Every structure is written in structure tokens, then in C-alpha cells.
Structure 1
Amino acid sequence: MGKTSDLTAVQKTIIDTLHKEGKTQKVIAKEAGCSQSSVSKHINRQAKGRKKCGRKKCTSSRDNRTLQRIVTTNPFKNVGEIHKEWTAAGVSASRTTTRRLMKDMGFRCRIPCVKPLLNMKQRKKRLAWAKDKKDWTDAEWSKVMFSDESKFCISFGNQGPRVWRKSGEAQNPRCMRSSVKFPPSVMVWGAMSSAGVGPLCFLRSRVNAAVYQEVLEHFMLPAADQLYGDADFTFQQDLAPAHSAKTTSTWFKDHGIPVLDWPANSPDLNPIENLWGIVKRRMQYARPNNAEELKTTIRATWALITPEQCHRLIESMPRRITAVIEAKGAPTKY
């Protein structure tokens, strides 16, 4: 151990402590478990102060603050655009330096999360809704039947599996994924509660008020019987035009079913959105060839959803509400 760079952090601490106590280098070396020369070099190095080594930085702290301001102001610019704007401010640095400094500052290039656009009025209503529901218990949320529509396509974009291939096999049919210009798709309506999921409804046409009321009659009511029996429940739906139509409101009143008030553009508050995500992730390795095979796959995957999964999602409602309050009505991570 002739070099101070060979000393561990613990040894350096012991040397510094014993040196301050006035111990001799021989005693220090014995206690630290290193050579006396290592102790001497470390003490002398600490006394003189370590000389700076390496290449001199080409940018100042002010230049770095300018770079951070540029990235923060418009995080959607690419490295080339950021570098161009930075050098236009009088900084002399390469594009590689720009990228490296951005990385040192903690910036990483990622796919942005997509969230609904919320105006201030909608944010205030979300915040007010969250504050009104913040004291709801798990028992109260378990009485809510959550519902939603979701679109399923045969092509799942980039969510499919990656491929292991060798160099030159990019065009090998065995290593390729097929795509179609207009992939068949189906629109599905579903409902869930903490007790599990209800039957699915595949929508054949555009959902207007009349079509939606048929879905409620033939699928929502059976789902309520299945999930709640004779117990009372509250139905949740978003503010789609067919849902908020006057005739739909009349339908609920005629059937004596209370509807949960719901803020606009708030899929992050609806746990069934996460359930759709679970279904689609489980289907990402399936490759149905047509709409009928797609429906069969969706039914089979939906049937695998357990009541425990639904219960865990419903239990997240207090956390979702807290997140909305902390975000002052803005979109959350859910």
C-alpha cells in the first residue's frame, strides 16, 4: 500500500482522526492497517490540498445555468436545437459537450406521458371534487361501479415484443412483424367494482344516447346483479355526450340508480382505465388475424381478471384523490 489512492475511505478517516489527536505516523499506520509512507503521503496531501488535474472546463457556471434554462424553458427541443440556441448565446462548446452536460444535470430523453388537456375551470372542478371525496372510506368506494369504453386494435403499435436476431436478419420474415394500413379494431364497454368485473359489451356502432341506454339495459343491469345482488350501488361514468344526455339521465332516474358526479377529462381518477391497461399488456403477445379473433382474445383475457385485482385498484382511490389535491387539479401519475 504505497500509494494514497490505494487507501480506503475508512483508512483515510482513521488517519485523519488519529493525526488530529497527535498520534505518530507509526502508530497511525498500525491502527489503519497500511504502510507508514501511505500515512505520510496522505497527511502531506491533505495539508497541501489536492491539485486540480484534468482538462480545464470549457464552460462556466453561468454558461451551465444558461443551458439549464434553455432545456427547462422548452424540454421538447432536440439536442441539435438546444446546442444551436446555447452557442447563439455566446457559449463555445461542442454538441457532445452539450449532451454530456445535460446528462450531468439529470436530464434524460424519454417518451413523454400523454395526459388530457385541462383548462383552469376543469382543474378547479377536479380539485373541488377531490376535496369533497377525500374522506370517503374503502367501504363507500366499494359501492361504486366504475365503467368506461376502450378501443382495442389488432396492431398494438410499439407495445409488442422485441426480437432476437443476428446481423443481416432484419429483413428475414421470421424476425419481422406484420402491419396493416387500417388495422381492424373493436370498441368495448365494461364495468368493474371491488367484487370483480361485469360482462363485456362490444359496440357495433357509434355510441349515441339510444345505443348507450341499450348497453345499460342489457349489460350494466346484469353486471349490477352479478356484482351487488340486492345491495345498493352508485354508478360511475364519464361525461361523454351519450352519458350526459337528458334521456340517459331520465333512464337512470326511472331505474332508481344514483350516478356519481364526475369531473371532466379525469381518466386518472377511474381505476377501470388501469384495468384496460392490464388487459392490453396481457394481449401484447397475442396476434389475432381478424376482428372476431380479437374479440375472442379480449373475452378470454377479461375473464382472467380476479376480484383481488379489482379490489386493489378500488383501494387506490384515496391515493388518487390525494394526488389531485396535491397537484391542485392538474393531471396525476395515475
Structure 2
Amino acid sequence: MPKSLSADIKNDIKSALLAGKDSMDVASRLGVTYATVNNYANKFFPNRQRGLGGRPMVVSAQTKRFIKIQVVQGQLKTAREVHDKLMELGYSVSYKTAINVLKSMNFFSAIKVKKPLLTTKHMKRRLAWAKKYQNWTTDDWRRVVFSDETKVNIWGSDGCN
């Protein structure tokens, strides 16, 4: 059966944790194990807020807010521009870190959808066509045969051409 800690050590653990000391520091200072300190911390402070752990972010929260505003306003459009802005602000970060900063603010990359380039002439012709057939009924459209010269094979292919 494990030996119980004295009231003095328990009080020392409690006061050190209340002072904001790290569990590992408290354990080494008092000569008890890290697990013991954590067990008592969970017992004394069941709702304590724990650190998230991991490496701290290089880019500050204030800089992230600044970058977010610039992205939303359209001043920074690509991750490369964000990376250049971070370098300009004095952060020596990689391009991948710039992408991670954007992801942490819920900005994700996407490939731009390709659309046909419409000239003014195209737009006028499309509008004229739409106005011409605007009042057609469903029966009128049933009489139209749409042909785009595409061959559709239902039962397999015709092989390589």
C-alpha cells in the first residue's frame, strides 16, 4: 500500500498550484512524482483549466487579427502574399507556416473555378436570346431538339480511337 503524503506536503502542493506553478516544477521542488502532483491537483481543483500543450505559435494573436482583416478586405489574396506580409512584419517563417496561420483562422485554399471569358458582345447576344425565348412555354421547348454532337455509348465503349 502506498504511503500517504503529509498534510504539509499537501498544503505545499495546493499553495504552489494556486500560485500558478507548473506541476512538473512543484513535483521536483517537493520531491514527489509528477503523477502525485497531478492527482492532488485533480482532487483539489477538479475544474482547473489546463494548458493546451504543444509548441507555441510564432505569430502573435494581434498579428493574426491584422492578417485576417487584410484577407477579408481583399488586400491579401494568396498565401504567398500573406507569407510576404509576415516577412515584412519581421516574422521569419516558412511558406507552410503562413498556410497554417491561414488555416487556424478558418481560411482554406481552393482552386479557382474556370469560367468562359465573356465579352460585351457575348453578353448582349445572350441577353437578346433570353429575351427572345422568355415567353416560351414547356410545349414550345419540347419541340426543340438539342444537339451538341456528343455521342453517348450506353453499352460500353467503342474502344480506343
Normalising by structure 2, what TM-score?
Answer: 0.43
Q: Give the greater-gyration-radius structure (CA).
A: 2
